[in-house]
Amino acid sequence: MATTSRTAAHHESPGTAPPAYLQGTVLWVSGGFYDVQTERGVVRCVLRERLRKNLVYPESRGRRRRVQAVRKQEIVEPAVAGDQVCIAPPSSSQSGTEPIGTIEEILPRTREFTRQAVLGHDRGGNTAGQTIIANLDQLVIVIAARQPEPRVGLIDRFLAAAEAAELEALVCINKLDLGLSGDLDAELAVFDDIGYPVVRTSAESGQGVDALRGRLRDHVSAFVGPSGVGKSTLLNALQPDL
């Protein structure tokens, strides 16, 4: 049955993934497992083994490309948070404790956030960017309403960094339950005026968390801001729907 419907859909739109595959976003990579957000919820996956390998092709063109060598990719993680992937979902007949899907393809990245990583001696000690997060497109600048004392200059610096990296940005004022410090209200109005959304939250009470979640939809976002402003607490408050 599954094979029949797969073939039929292939006739309708050649070149696209069979409908048995699901597209999703890698949320979390840990211990060889990849949690992938799909339209059917979060699916825990492993990576198809060939995606771990570096296939090396000869330089010459015009001939059928044949793999010359296979190198194991040992240092660089092939799939990272933010990657768009095609997965084969766990089959319904699969027995056992937790159903596990398989990542079959990693789609091309639109952008990468990298850190310089020194590769092994066998590659001549060359440095290459190690991708930490893929397809990042939004910076969430988190500042506390009080404690640690908000510094508007810091928001400015993060906004400048976001612009330089061509990321969308929004300002999140957390710990609203403590009350706004000084004339922060007036200063925040300026950010709103120049086009940066300001979201006010209390991770503690849950106020504004839905609004923030709405801003995260359809984005790959990174949370930045000083230590102690409540980034981890906010992520935990957001988690049920992530």
Ligand X SMILES: Nc1nc2c(ncn2[C@@H]2O[C@H](COP(=O)(O)OP(=O)(O)O)[C@@H](O)[C@H]2O)c(=O)[nH]1
Choose between 175 and 231: whose C-beta lies nearer to Mg ion.
231
238 binds ligand X (CB under 6 A): no
228 binds ligand X (CB under 6 A): yes
232 binds Mg ion (CB under 5 A): yes
Choose between 79 and 141: whose C-beta lies nearer to Mg ion.
141
Choose between 87 and 176: whose C-beta lies nearer to ligand X.
176
Q: Which stretch binds ligand X (CB under 6 A): 61-69, 128-136, 172-180, 184-192?
A: 172-180
177 interface partner picked from Mg ion, ligand X, none, CB below 5 to 8 A per type: ligand X
204 binds ligand X (CB under 6 A): yes
206 binds ligand X (CB under 6 A): no
Work out the burial of residue 169: count CB atoms within 10 Å of its CB; fewer than 13 is exposed, 13-18 middle, 19 or more buried.
Answer: buried
Sign for the CA dihedral angle at 150, 153, 154, 156 comes to positive
200 binds ligand X (CB under 6 A): no
CA distances from 62 to 56, 57, 70 (A): 16, 13, 21
Q: Which residues bind Mg ion (CB under 5 A)?
A: 231-232
Q: Which residues bind ligand X (CB under 6 A)?
A: 174-175, 177-178, 202-204, 227-233
